[in-house]
Amino acid sequence: MIHTIFNANEHVAYDVLIENWILENYKLGHMPISIKKDNFDLLIAQINNYCQKQGYENLTFSELKDSVSPRFIYKNEQILLWITDMRETREIEIYTNTLDDLTAIQNIVYEYRKIQETDAEIMYATITRGPMGIIEKAVVKTLKDYGKISYKYYPFLKVEEFINQFLIGKESILLLGGNVGTGKSKFATLVLKYVLQNPEIIDNFEKREDIEELLEQPRQFKVAYIKNVQLLNEDALWDKLRNYHLVIMDDLDFVLSSRGESREDVLKNQFISHFLSFTDGTHENKTKFIITTNQPYNEIDEALLRPGRLYAVLNFRPLTYEEALDIWEEYGLKENDFENYFEDKEYINHAELGSIIENKLMNEEYVDIKNYILDPEIDVMGRIEKRAGLI
């Protein structure tokens, strides 16, 4: 929808002048889109990434200090974002000179709003062993906790289609293999992002009949995370797991090897027995399992590979230089910085790339954190970091 009409009676003269200037310099506009303030800098970074791909300059920031309400703009010659700062949200008006740019920026903003607005939440429980028995420590997570995770980390897979088929299908087990650092655990987290972006999928696990509950309470996707292999032979654990929609078992290596040569390993055999019983399909049970392992897939116990139980076995590989660069640029980071980190590498691990991106974003996000220091001589931390070679 094109927004080009202003009512001067509702604005002070300063705002009217600014709006007239917008109309003189940009041909098309869109009605305001309301988004929450969380991760706003990431949104700007994504739009700057689009600008770079189009050969435009990055957006520059200007604050409209004489405006009645707090307003500021980001602009280059092709794109302008007019932003009104509200208490908990920001209203973004988009102005461009071409319909293609308007549509592209609009889609980026709408996708960002989708990251934040959802009627679902993750109840994420870490299950451990305590002196009094099994302990479930649960926290509630929403989509903003996963908003910075990109589907592009898996360019060798139609990620969203793959996840959807896993969650709605009858097979309950997804095995993720590959060398350390190739994104196995990150992929499990990406599944949670997909669920929150598509909350209706939770209805496949747990129907809500009460209309008041449907309207007032968000859908809740219950996730259990287990890393302690000592828990896996306990009957009480498996009783608890029936209450969860997804179980993530991280770094299970020896328990997945074939039982043919190691029947003396009681723990492993008990786990396999419990697991096969839990997933045999004879009882109504929609719990899904994501298991990550460094175990070679050709050594996995054959019983787990039975059709109808296993959805897929994936053996992740590192990213190529070009694939990693594409992810880097999605976060609005500069290509020459990428070259400084990875110029000699043909392949790049997910973990290494993700760690550097996170650090870069954090450093840029908090670059002005010490603006309150007027005399650099009092900043002892800065001198300590230089002496220690931290910067």
d(CA 305, CA 69): 62
Q: Which residues of the chain have pLDDT under 70?
A: 1-15, 39, 65-69, 87-88, 113-118, 207-217, 254-265, 281-284, 299, 364-373, 379, 381-391
C-beta separation of 187 from 326 below 8 A: no
Q: pLDDT at position 389, please?
A: 36
Q: What is the pLDDT, as a whole number, of residue 359? A: 85
Q: What's the rounded Cα separation, in Å, for the pair 39 and 306?
A: 44
Amino acid present at 2: I
The answer for residues whose C-beta is within 8 angstroms of residue 271's C-beta and 6 or more apart is 229, 232, 233, 255
Burial call 358-370: b when 16+ CB within 10 Å, e when fewer: eebbeeeeeeeee
Query: In this predicted structure, what is the pLDDT of residue 277?
Result: 84
Tell me the whole-structure pTM to 2 decimals. Answer: 0.66
Output b/e per residue, 196-225; b: 16+ Cβ within 10 A.
Answer: bbbbebbeebeeeeeeeeeeeeebbbbbbb
- Residue 156 has what pLDDT? 94
Tokens, residue 321: 């230089």
- pLDDT for the residue numbered 292: 92
CA 216/CA 356 separation, integer angstroms: 40
